[in-house]
């Protein structure tokens, strides 16, 4: 399987990968050219200019071939914008093909890292699940084989009818021509013999059909009542960050095969009835076609009614990591697929999305907001080229609020008000006429981006609780609690999808105390996400990681969730200069600090710097802060107190690959020749505390008298609160 398709199947194009394709290379080009891109050696092209030019030319030729194919197949409107992709590549990389090679090499490596991480987390598939799928696959294959036998038997029966008809009509003709020729007793016996054999063949054939239908009934029950609900539950978990397989390939194969068999059974029954009517002689056998066809039709109806699924839940293109959150007047997308993917259904089925169709809350709940789509979004199901599925992609949906019907709505309940989108299709084929519907997962419609965090908390809570397709849209009128086990999974998945690393047991142990105050270990909704909640703090940290700390979090260099007391215990036996990184517990918008140990007179003293916020990390990345951080002691001497990342990793080993300050200094010196200057974060050496416990509570800016004196003396260069400042040092070079 292509690497890109594997990422799509596992729903992994989010978090770091999503950011990568937002900033470095268009995701739609990666998708449309996935096979061609993965067939080239971009690692070699990244270091070899001629190879880069060759790979670039291959991409252009591939785009030309695909465009010509679309023109020949008269599929220009439905096909991807191949000319637009070519124009983009020519504009940005025509003169620098090696730049493209470097970008694609990096992107492919990051994709492999994500896949490897998920493979490690998930491990091998459960043997029981694999065996269950193999058994079902075997049943479907056997069903198809038996159907092929029935078709052969039906054809053989046609031959038997023709032979008997020939014998009867030929002998009858001879008798009519020669009135003196008596009917042969032998001929009559031969006709009776043929008739009896035909009757036996019919009986056997009909029994075969009934047996196939009974087997099909079992398979349809497994597909609609077991496999499909399990897939829908996996999709729910994937929407809130769980790394599970949401591929529809197996289900589509099984649904398609069974639907094909059931349609063929109806065709064979029709042929049998036509044979019976055509060769209308008295054989004493009545075909029970009506009952069997009714049985087949009921199975086919049940299968097709469950074939329509929401393959990709509603999601805003500018918020890909958080599906099911929609903002009024902002474009969002969704994709539905018809699992019974038969050629005769192509261009036949039209799907229409309807917002809040048949929602009881819309009529009974006071203040429940009403929305309409901004345009008609009806789509005809077509075969999607990359996946081969019978799909309809709704790529330009948006909502407008019907304010005339929203009197009394409460702004405070917006992020707890659940809605659904129903996709409705009228199915008419082969005498079958029915309406097929499928609902999206509950969505939340917001009016401001400031509501995203609260809305996401509701989405997580709702999907963790709701395990059936009958969604309770009034869930938050009295939200049930979650167990800590459920909440811990939720939180861990957020860090996995954002920073490609889950929370470990120690981190979860620290967080448990913040969320659980119930003796039964339950987490109440109000404790999780109401007002100034713990979720706001967690979400601020997730945003901090996504924007500034992805690499460090992924590598496990950030301990993150560790209390001050725990920090003191971890550091008390460590050598001077050992430090760890942890998140601020007081800053709700997300901030990070480092604590380090100094051993003085055989006594461990733990210090912590004032936390760095997103604004400060935007000015200087954390690895550079760690690289440049200094303490100012007596005599204006500076030293970096950070030597070993806990437990014993040399600082440069951990953070060296991410340093940018030293490289910038060298390049500036070589290019300009000016006396170089570097912004250096520093702190004044704190007064030694009286006890290790006091040390771990003390920040490096607690010596207020010293701070005031320093601020007054260096008022022209110190411009940050407390003792945290940017100190300027100079390195002499040859004069210009």
Instruction: Match 């309807």 to its residue by tokens.
Output: 354
**Do 95 and 175 belong to one domain?**
no
What pTM, to 2 d.p., does this model score? Answer: 0.74
**Do 271 and 408 belong to one domain?**
no
**Do 617 and 648 belong to one domain?**
yes
228 contacts 252 by C-beta, under 8 angstroms: no
Residue 53, in any domain of the structure: yes
User: Which pLDDT does position 606 carry in this prediction?
Assistant: 87
d(CA 558, CA 545) in angstroms, rounded, equals 10
Residue 564, in any domain of the structure: no
User: Which pLDDT does position 284 carry in this prediction?
Assistant: 54
**Do 450 and 544 belong to one domain?**
no
**Do 676 and 630 belong to one domain?**
yes
User: Which pLDDT does position 698 carry in this prediction?
Assistant: 42
**Do 451 and 501 belong to one domain?**
no
Residue 562, in any domain of the structure: no
Residue 557, in any domain of the structure: no
- Kind of pairing, strands 399-401 and 390-397? unpaired
466 contacts 331 by C-beta, under 8 angstroms: no
Domain range holding 182?
127-304
Residue 245, in any domain of the structure: yes
Q: Is 261 exposed, middle or buried (0-12, 13-18, 19+ CB in 10 A)?
A: buried
Q: How far is CA 700 from CA 342, 344, 493, 609, 610, in A?
A: 70, 74, 34, 6, 7
CATH of the domain at 525: 1.10.238.10
Choosing from 244, 277, 304, the residue where a domain stops is: 304
CATH of the domain at 108: 1.10.532.10
**Do 151 and 297 belong to one domain?**
yes
* Per-residue tokens: 110: 């990051």
Residue 569, in any domain of the structure: no
CATH of the domain at 195: 1.20.1050.20
**Do 492 and 463 belong to one domain?**
no
**Do 59 and 200 belong to one domain?**
no
Phi-psi category of residue 431: left, alpha or beta, with phi > 0 → left and psi -120 to 50 → alpha: left
H or E element at residue 397: strand 390-397
210 three-state secondary structure: helix
491 contacts 452 by C-beta, under 8 angstroms: no
**Do 508 and 471 belong to one domain?**
no
Taking the CB of residue 8, how many other CB atoms lie within 10 A of it?
19
- Please count the structural domains in the chain: 5
Taking the CB of residue 581, how many other CB atoms lie within 10 A of it?
21
Residue 565, in any domain of the structure: no
**Do 103 and 141 belong to one domain?**
no
User: Which pLDDT does position 564 carry in this prediction?
Assistant: 84
* Per-residue tokens: 14: 């989010």
Taking the CB of residue 167, how many other CB atoms lie within 10 A of it?
14
* Per-residue tokens: 632: 């100012």
Measured in degrees and rounded to the nearest 5, phi and psi for residue 531 equal 55, -130
**Do 286 and 409 belong to one domain?**
no
User: Which pLDDT does position 726 carry in this prediction?
Assistant: 36
User: Which pLDDT does position 733 carry in this prediction?
Assistant: 33
Residue 394, in any domain of the structure: yes
Which residues does residue 679 pair with via DSSP β-bridges, in sequence order? 728
Mean pLDDT by 10 residues, the chain (736 residues): 67 64 78 83 85 88 83 68 86 88 86 71 54 85 89 80 71 58 61 75 85 92 92 91 87 92 89 75 63 90 94 90 92 92 85 89 82 88 73 90 64 82 90 89 92 93 80 86 92 90 89 85 86 84 92 90 87 88 89 88 83 91 89 71 89 87 49 52 57 41 40 40 36 33
d(CA 353, CA 312) in angstroms, rounded, equals 14
CATH of the domain at 383: 2.60.40.630
660 three-state secondary structure: coil
Choosing from 60, 90, 122, the residue where a domain stops is: 122
* Start-to-end Cα distance in the chain: 59
Measured in degrees and rounded to the nearest 5, phi and psi for residue 246 equal -115, 20
Q: How far is CA 412 from CA 74, 81, 329, 338, 667, in A?
A: 52, 43, 20, 38, 53
Choosing from 506, 523, 551, the residue where a domain stops is: 551
* Per-residue tokens: 250: 């197996």
């Amino acid at each position: 399987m292509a690497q890109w398709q594997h990422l799509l199947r596992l729903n992994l194009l989010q978090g770091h990968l999503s950011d990568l394709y937002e900033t470095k290379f268009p995701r739609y080009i990666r998708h449309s050219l996935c096979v061609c891109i993965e067939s080239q050696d971009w690692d070699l092209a990244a270091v070899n200019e001629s190879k880069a030019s060759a790979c670039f030319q291959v991409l252009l030729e591939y785009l030309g071939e695909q465009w010509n194919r679309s023109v020949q197949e008269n599929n220009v409107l439905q096909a991807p914008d191949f000319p637009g992709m070519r124009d983009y590549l020519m504009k940005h990389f025509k003169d620098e093909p090696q730049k493209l090679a470097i970008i694609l090499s990096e992107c492919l490596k990051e994709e492999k890292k994500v896949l490897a991480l998920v493979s490690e987390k998930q491990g091998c598939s459960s043997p029981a699940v694999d065996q269950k799928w193999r058994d079902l696959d075997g049943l479907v294959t056997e069903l198809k084989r038996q159907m092929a036998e029935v078709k052969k038997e039906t054809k053989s029966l046609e031959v038997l009818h023709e032979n008997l008809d020939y014998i009867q009509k030929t002998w009858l003709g001879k008798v009519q021509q020669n009135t003196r020729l008596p009917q042969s007793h032998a001929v009559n016996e031969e006709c009776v013999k043929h008739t009896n054999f035909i009757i036996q063949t019919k009986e056997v054939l009909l029994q075969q059909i009934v047996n196939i239908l009974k087997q099909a009934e079992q398979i349809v029950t497994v597909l609609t009542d077991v496999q499909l609900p399990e897939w829908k539950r996996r999709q729910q978990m994937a929407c809130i960050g769980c790394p599970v397989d949401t591929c529809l390939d197996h289900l589509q194969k099984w649904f398609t095969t069974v639907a094909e068999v059931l349609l063929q059974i109806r065709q064979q029954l029709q042929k049998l009835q036509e044979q019976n009517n055509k060769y209308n002689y008295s054989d004493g056998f009545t075909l029970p076609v009506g009952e069997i066809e009714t049985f087949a039709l009921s199975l086919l109806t049940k299968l097709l009614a469950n074939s329509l699924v929401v393959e990709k839940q509603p999601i805003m293109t500018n918020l890909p990591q958080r599906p099911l959150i929609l903002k009024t007047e902002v474009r969002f997308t969704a994709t539905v697929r018809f699992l019974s993917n038969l050629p005769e259904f192509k261009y036949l089925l039209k799907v229409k999305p309807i917002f809040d169709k048949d929602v009881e809350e819309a009529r009974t709940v006071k203040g429940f907001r009403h929305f309409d789509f901004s345009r008609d979004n009806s789509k005809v199901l077509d075969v999607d080229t990359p996946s081969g599925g019978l799909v309809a992609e709704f790529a330009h949906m948006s909502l407008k609020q019907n304010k005339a019907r929203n009197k009394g709505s409460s702004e405070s309940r917006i992020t707890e008000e659940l809605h659904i989108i129903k996709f409705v299709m009228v199915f008419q084929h082969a005498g079958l006429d029915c309406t097929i519907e499928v609902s999206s997962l509950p969505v939340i419609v917001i009016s401001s981006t400031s509501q995203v965090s609260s809305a996401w908390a509701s989405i997580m809570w709702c999907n963790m609780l709701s395990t059936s397709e009958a969604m309770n849209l009034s869930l938050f009128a009295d939200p049930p609690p979650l167990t800590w086990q459920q909440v811990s999974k939720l939180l861990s998945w957020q860090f996995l999808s954002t920073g490609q690393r889950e929370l470990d047991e120690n981190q979860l142990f620290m967080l448990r105390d913040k969320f659980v105050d119930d003796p039964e270990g339950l987490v109440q909704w109000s404790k999780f996400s109401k007002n100034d909640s713990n979720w706001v703090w967690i979400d601020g940290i997730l945003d901090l990681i996504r924007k500034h700390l992805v690499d460090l979090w992924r590598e496990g260099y950030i301990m993150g969730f560790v209390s001050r007391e725990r920090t003191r215990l971890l550091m008390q036996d460590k050598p001077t200069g050992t430090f760890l990184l942890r998140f601020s517990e007081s800053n709700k918008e997300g901030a990070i600090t480092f604590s380090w140990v100094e051993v003085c007179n055989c006594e461990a003293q733990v210090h912590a710097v004032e936390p760095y916020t997103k604004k400060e990390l935007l000015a200087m990345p954390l690895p550079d802060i760690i690289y440049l951080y200094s303490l100012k002691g007596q005599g204006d001497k500076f030293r970096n107190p950070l030597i070993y990342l806990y437990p014993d990793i040399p600082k440069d080993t951990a953070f060296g690959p991410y340093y940018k300050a030293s490289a910038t200094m060298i390049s500036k010196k070589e290019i300009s020749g000016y006396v170089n200057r570097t912004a250096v974060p520093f702190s004044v050496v704190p007064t030694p505390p009286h006890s290790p416990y006091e040390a771990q509570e003390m920040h490096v800016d607690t010596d207020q008298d010293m701070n005031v004196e320093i601020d007054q003396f260096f008022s022209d260069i110190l411009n940050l609160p407390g003792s945290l400042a940017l100190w300027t040092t100079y390195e002499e070079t040859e004069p210009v």
